Each structure stands twice: as structure tokens, then as C-alpha cells.
Amino acid sequence: MTILITGGAGFIGSNFVLDWLRESDEPVVNLDKLTYAGNLGNLRGLEGDARHTFVQGDICDRACVDGLLTAHRPRAIVHFAAESHVDRSIHGPGEFLRTNIDGTFTLLEAARAYWGALEGEEKAAFRFHHVSTDEVYGSLAPDDPPFTETNTYAPNSPYSASKAASDHLVRAWHHTYGLPVTTSNCSNNYGPYHFPEKLIPLMIANALAGKPLPIYGDGQQIRDWLYVTDHCSAIRAILADGKVGEVYNVGGWNEMPNIEIVHTLIRLLDELSPRADGASYAEQIAYVADRPGHDRRYAIDARKIERELGWRPAETFQTGIRKTVEWYLANQAWVRDVQSGAYREWLDRNYAHRGA
Ligand code: NAD
Ligand code: TYD
């Protein structure tokens, strides 16, 4: 048996591949285009491991996807590949529509043709798991209940709109063609190998480099945060026991305003890697211009996956964030490697006009 992963060189995908091969010997075929966000360095620990086959390719390339399905005959596809950064989607939405919508469409069509030709047990066991985000549900007011699986879709950014479109395609391919799909909508992940343009790794990297810690707007935007290996275990649970056609919300029961996240990071860095001048990293906080259309609050009601599949996060925010800071302190070479010329251009593009 084999599974096919898309986007397995990115943040969550690479954690999933590493986690999968720690937990089982079932081989993984990993299809990833290696965009700026893809990094084979995340998978260095698997060099020479015959259970992992990496293929550089685009999910929009039907011939490539067909070839992999024919050659490896996976029992499941786990679809992570996406353009994933809201700020980038504001600067250039086109690539988000291409990968997140056209790419998902291409994969669904390839999966439909492949699954259609399977028979018996193989056909009955096949699954297409789509990895999505809580951002498709839009923004909550302070007293609104958290998002459930039946929440109305109200995406507000080009990123979340493109993910919402992909969720609808996945749903339609099940209802119309019977493709055996499952979908998970997860809150903000954090942990090792998180690309350092996202909030948590950016703050750690900037703090250590003596740079400003840019807080968008008033810093009171709320997100729910989940340690990445908990997301991986949730997907494993869905693959194993999830009901075909169902959606599962995945979250950490851990809503927090951005400014509190940053203060938590500052406390940990002050303890684990104090500034040479003895001052707190808090001195580097800089309030900057807000993100256009910035969603105020996301929160996940993760009771369905607990009730039906027995999944709950293993990490609390306190344990997960300490592990994360320790990982970044121990892996500064990884951070330096991804801070290439292209990464610096992004920092100029995203922060120059904000007054950071
Ligand atoms: P990421 O940006 O770190 O990684 C995306 C990966 O997909 C990269 O390796 C990239 O090279 C690859 N990729 C991009 N376009 C591709 C294409 N056309 N063909 C093949 N590969 C391509 O993203 P992530 O944070 O790991 O997110 C993974 C998935 O989880 C995404 O679908 C995202 O929407 C979803 N998600 C992320 C979060 C989060 O907090 N990061 C939360 C909920 C859901
Ligand atoms: P991000 O990590 O980009 O994830 P998302 O927008 O998908 O939730 O951002 C998390 C939150 O942090 C979001 O409310 C925007 C905010 N943020 C900042 O305040 N400053 C920053 O420099 C970045 C990158 C994000």
C-alpha cells in the first residue's frame, strides 16, 4: 500500500510525511512543485529512505498526476499543495487561483479516472483527503460561537476564496461522481519548518536578528492555534476512520490575540536566548499598517472530530510554543537557508509600505 501526498515539501506537508513514516512503514509518494514555500531541506532526515519517493511536479499537470497514479497505485491521496499566505494572495492572487482551484480540479479529475478504474476492495478503500482552512468561514464577531462544519462560507481574502472554491469542488466531485472524499478545515498551525514569513517564525527570526516585530493594526485579531503534529494526527484519524463525504473541523481549543502570541514568544526568547544588552525583545515591537480586509477572529469548534473519531490535540499552547521556539533556536541554519534573495524581496514588498 502507498499514499500520494501533494505539497509534502511545505510546512504541514513535510511534517505530515515525517510523522507518517515515524508511525508506519507505508510508503509515501510526495508530489511538490517546490515553489518558494517548498523546501527539500525539511525532508533531509529521509535521504536514502526507500519509503519516501519525491517527485518535483505541478498538481496542475494532469499527465504528471496520471503517471504517478498509474505507477504507484496509491490507496489514498492527501492534498496539501496550495498557495497558502494571505499577504501574498493580496499582492498576487493569480497563482492562488491557479494552484488552489485549477490544481485541485486537475487532481480531482485524475483521481476520478483512477478510482473509476479500480475494482472491489481497492475501489472501496480509496480516499481523497482535502486539507483546507478555517478561513473559508470568514470572520467572527467577539461573541459569535466558533465555526462548526455547517457554518456558512464567507471567505474574505483571495487566499480563503480560492480555498473555499477548492472545498466546493471536492464536495461536488463526491456528490456528482461519488468520489470518496473527506475534507478537514483546520485553524492556524505552528511548529517546526514553518516558513519564516508567517507570524510565529517571522517574530522569532526578527527578534533574534534585532529587527522590528511588525504587529498589523492593533494586534487584537484572534486566531486559534494548533501544533502541527496534532494536525497530522487529525488527518491520520480521518484517513483511517473518517466517513466518506464528511467535513471535519480541526482546532487547538486555543484562541489568542496576535499580540498575546508575540508576548509569549518574547517571554520565551528572553528566557532561552536573552538579548546581549539585557533588554527585553519587547523593545522591538512595532505597530504597522494593517492588512487590507484583515479578518478579526477565527475560532474552531472541534467537537465533531472528537466525538466521531476520538481525536483531540495532544499539545497545549504552552507545550507546543516552547517546543517551537526551542526548535527555531536549534535550527537557525535552516532559517538562514530559506532566507534567500527571493525571501528578502518579499519582506521589502510586504513591509516597506507599512512603516515597519
Ligand atoms: P506551504 O505554503 O508551507 O506549503 C505548500 C506546498 O505546496 C509547498 O511545498 C509548495 O512547493 C507546494 N506547491 C505549491 N503550489 C504547488 C503546485 N502547483 N503543485 C505542487 N505543489 C505545489 O503551506 P502549508 O502551510 O504547509 O499548508 C498546507 C495546506 O494546509 C494548504 O492547503 C493550506 O491551505 C492548508 N492549511 C494551512 C494552515 C496553516 O496554518 N499553515 C492552516 C489550515 C490549512
Ligand atoms: P499569518 O501567519 O499570515 O496567518 P493567517 O493570516 O493565515 O492567519 O498571520 C497570522 C496573524 O498574524 C494574522 O492575523 C496576521 C498577523 N500578522 C502580523 O500581525 N504581523 C505579521 O508580520 C504577519 C506575517 C502576520
Angstrom distance (rounded) from CA 153 to CA 135? 9
Active site residue 345: no
Angstrom distance (rounded) from CA 306 to CA 230? 13
What are the sequence ranges of the domains in the chain?
3-191+226-254+297-315
Q: Please, how many CA atoms are within 13 Å of residue 117, restricted to the half-sphere of its CB? A: 10
Residue partners of 119: CB distance under 8 A and separation at least 6: none
Name the grid cell of 313: 490535540
Question: 199 CB under 6 A from ligand 2?
Answer: yes
Residue partners of 128: CB distance under 8 A and separation at least 6: 76, 77, 79, 107, 108, 111, 115, 170, 173, 179, 180, 181, 182
Active site residue 287: no
Residue nearest to atom 10 of ligand 2 (CA): 199
Homologous superfamily assigned to 3-191+226-254+297-315:
NAD(P)-binding Rossmann-like Domain (3.40.50.720)
CB 194 within 8 A of CB 201: yes
Active site residue 159: yes
DSSP string, 211-240: --EEEETTS--EEEEEEHHHHHHHHHHHHH
Distance 150 CA to ligand 2 centre (A): 26
- Closest by CA to 254, choosing from 272, 230, 236, is 230
Q: Going residue by residue through the chain, which has 356 residues, state the pLDDT in tens, using 9 for 90 and above.
A: 999 999 999 999 999 999 999 999 999 999 999 999 999 999 999 999 999 999 999 999 999 999 999 999 999 999 999 999 999 999 999 999 999 999 999 999 999 999 999 999 999 999 999 999 999 999 999 999 999 999 999 999 999 999 999 999 999 999 999 999 999 999 999 999 999 999 999 999 999 999 999 999 999 999 999 999 999 999 999 999 999 999 999 999 999 999 999 999 999 999 999 999 999 999 999 999 999 999 999 999 999 999 999 999 999 999 999 999 999 999 999 999 898 877 778 888 889 888 65
Scanning the structure block, which residue is given the C-alpha cell 490507496? 75
Cα 345–160–68 angle (5° rounding)? 80
pTM over 0.75: yes
Angle between helices 11-23 and 228-241 (to 10 degrees): 60
Question: 38 CB under 6 A from ligand 1?
Answer: yes
For residue 197, CA distances in Å to 77, 200, 214 come to 28, 8, 11
Distance 117 CA to ligand 2 centre (A): 43
- Closest by CA to 129, choosing from 161, 167, 165, is 167
Residue nearest to atom 9 of ligand 2 (CA): 199
Task: Give the active site residue among 32, 83, 137, 159.
Answer: 159
